[in-house]
Structure 1
């Protein structure tokens, strides 16, 4: 099996010739030059990833990484921790937000347990790092460095396996009560900003408890002293199993040469980890929507990504990624099915 380093080294740069060919192709379509805006930018990116102007993604999949977090004990969530397990059971029934939105977009959903505090669930891949969830980052590291590397490797291999089985487009999602706290810690560390700028209400935390959540994130950083130049160290010290799982999927998908569609704030944090570890993965990332979570802008600015949607969503699960899949389909049909100016004897002024 390939190591993390080998998986990272296999990530290819985007094909600039294909991107230029797509740009020329788009300019020749039956429309004013550049009139489809970001849809054209997306088509060019997809061509660079696919190494072809014939872009199409029939099989799409959202990989949902789920885990519980020790920092839940610090009172940073209003939902009971058992909701992680309950919602994962609901996902196996296909009734959660991501499941219905993915079905509507013609996408599959793959459920992965990286550390829910329960017995293995039927219909869910068992990739538990620990059966009792990650460590309480306000008091200790979330996981050991060895656990972090193994998590990244296993998740990257999973993404590669899915591509080998015919998946052409991957979205990421997560599930874990309290996980916006480690996400805010990651964003604070890797974007070099105070937690005051990254901590939000998550799953409806009362605003009068925000100061406490900020203090918990600040304490986690002080206790663990993560190295911002070492993404694995940051993940191990102030991250979580679901976040590390998403980061691994991003790296694996990039290594396998397929686009990765981000969800919201949690996936932004995971993306920051992924590109710190594997900078060449950045061009493979597509930002689906602008999360309504408070620190979203900080993370997106650091990632250099512009979301295609702004729906004021903060559900998570991969719901935003599912919403973006039809936009990707639209970019493909535009490039593949529109008529040409030349075919209609139309000449535009230079």
Structure 2
């Protein structure tokens, strides 16, 4: 691990446990049975620990969509050609993708980053952080050099820091890269030892023959390179993707800046696991938005120790599930700031020996 990444990792501190305790105490004074808002309450406590304040709000939020191509597409592992990566980046920049629609609804900014698209792109809204023109084919050679993987991590960190300097305090991870579920499965198996039959899924919708080929492809890459599961940068460089490494940097920087970071789907969670292996305290700043249809995603979330907020059978990526979870962050913040306490509302609490809720039994 180079000195710059090491400094970034060292700057990540644990969350504020006293703020978490104060937030829980406040929640238990609100006009409801304790714990009756379920995961919203756990989220409110987590946000307090992250911010160091019982009541938080996040008016400026951004989804960082990292885009990069994958040389492994030469093996025929995707239902879509590599050209779609650049075409979808243009779609993001023109506001026409699903993540743009959902981000507008959530009042979130979409930051589109070219970290490794195989063609040159020009657009005033594009953030250019290109490390190289796509990764190499991992079944023939390492996806990238270690230096390139480190540069991609730091590029992601720079994007997060720049957004923070403009007032952004809530981050969402997003990505685009044809072939990136293959790279993410390889990263997951490389970091955890979980078999490729559990990490590899259908991605963009490949058939049974395509799934078998994809599993074989990831097995070949792992056998060829034997990535060191105790060294996330080694794993990312040998079998990962530029956008996965970039998101790893976004997550680490968000944690260092004491900002919550909402993790999207399978690819984002592979990046989150790499970040967690580099800096275990970073997990305390992560919010798992949803669980996707990619079979490996459940295992990744379990490795991270995170509970997903939503179950919507989504498998699009882009940050779409993450952006939807912004509404839950807003809801948790508003519950803390606007809901009456038993005392302020003049409602008897369970400790008074009367009904625990003004609306009858908790359900």
The verdict on a shared fold, with TM-score over 0.5 as the criterion, is yes
Whole-angstrom distance in 2 between the partners of 1:287 and 1:94: 25
For residue 315 of structure 1, give the secondary structure of its aligned residue in structure 2.
coil
Provide the C-alpha distance between the structure 2 equivalents of 1:94 and 1:68, rounded to a whole number of angstroms.
21
Deviations 1:314-344 (A, max 9, x none): 0000000111000000000000100001121
Task: Please say which structure displays the higher CA radius of gyration.
Answer: 2
In the aligned structure 1, how far is the partner of 2:158 from the partner of 2:118? Answer: 24
- Decide whether the 8 Å contact of 1:160 with 1:255 is kept in 2: no
2:246 aligns to what? 245
Q: Which residue of 2 aligns with 1:304?
A: 305
Q: Distance in 2 between matches of 1:54 and 1:76?
A: 47
1:153 corresponds to: 154
Map of 2:49 onto structure 1: 48
The structural deviation recorded for 1:345 is 4.2
Instruction: Give a deviation string over 1:229-273, Cα, whole Å, max 9, x none.
Output: 001100001101011011110001101110000110001111111
- Secondary structure of the residue aligned to 1:171 is strand
Whether the aligned pair in 2 keeps the contact of 1:266 and 1:316 (CA below 8 Å) is yes
Q: CA deviation at 1:8?
A: 1.4
Judge conservation of contact 1:89–1:121 (CA < 8 Å) in 2: no
Runs of 5+ consecutive residues of structure 1 not aligned to the other structure? none
Which position in structure 1 is the counterpart of 2:357?
Answer: none
Match in the other structure for 2:283: 282
**C-alpha distance in 2 between matches for 1:170 and 1:316:** 15
| Shift of residue 77, structure 1, vs aligned partner | 0.6
2:131 to 129, 132, 141: 129
CA distance in 2, matches of 1:154, 1:266: 18
- Which position in structure 2 is the counterpart of 1:347? 349
CA contact under 8 A between 2:31 and 2:347: conserved in structure 1?
A: no
Please tell me whether the aligned partners of residues 65 and 111 of structure 1 are also in contact (alpha carbons under 8 angstroms).
Answer: yes
Matches within 5 A, 1:150-229: 150-229=151-230
1:26-175 superposed matches below 5 A: 26-122=27-123, 123-131=125-133, 133-175=134-176
Give the 3-state SS of the residue equivalent to 1:331 in structure 2. helix
Q: What's the TM-score, normalizing by structure 2?
A: 0.94
Give the structure-1-normalised TM-score.
0.98
1:191 and 1:298 in contact (8 A); partners too = no
Alpha-carbon distance in structure 2 between the residues aligned to 1:126 and 1:317: 18
Q: Measure the CA separation in 1 of the matches of 2:256 and 2:337.
A: 26
Deviation at 1:120, TM superposition (A): 2.6
| Secondary structure at 1:311 match in 2 | coil
Write the distance in 1 (CA, Å) between the matches of 2:155 and 2:350. 52
1:209 is displaced (CA, Å) by 1.5
Gaps of 5+ in 2: 353-363
Give CA deviations for 1:105-139 in whole Å, capped at 9, x if unaligned: 111100000111111331211111112x1111111
Q: How far has the Cα of 1:206 moved from its partner?
A: 1.3
Task: Kindly indicate whether the alpha-carbon contact (under 8 Å) linking 2:289 and 2:322 is maintained by their aligned counterparts in 1.
Answer: yes
SS of the aligned residue for 1:212 comes to helix
Question: What is the rounded CA distance, in whole Å, between the counterparts of 2:197 and 2:333 in structure 1?
Answer: 41
Q: CA deviation at 1:189?
A: 1.6
- Equivalenced residues, count: 348
Note the alpha carbon deviations across 1:133-176, whole angstroms, 9 max, x for none: 11111111111111111111121122122112100100000000
Instruction: Give SS of 1:3's match.
Output: helix
Q: For 1:63 and 1:276, how far apart are their aligned partners in 2? A: 21
Measure the CA separation in 1 of the matches of 2:122 and 2:197: 37
Coordinate RMSD, CA, aligned: 1.1
- Relative to structure 2, which stretch is displaced further, 154-163 or 36-45? 154-163
Equivalent residue for 1:16? 17
Q: Does 1:254 align with 2:255?
A: yes
Instruction: Give runs of ≥4 in structure 1 deviating > 4 Å.
Output: none
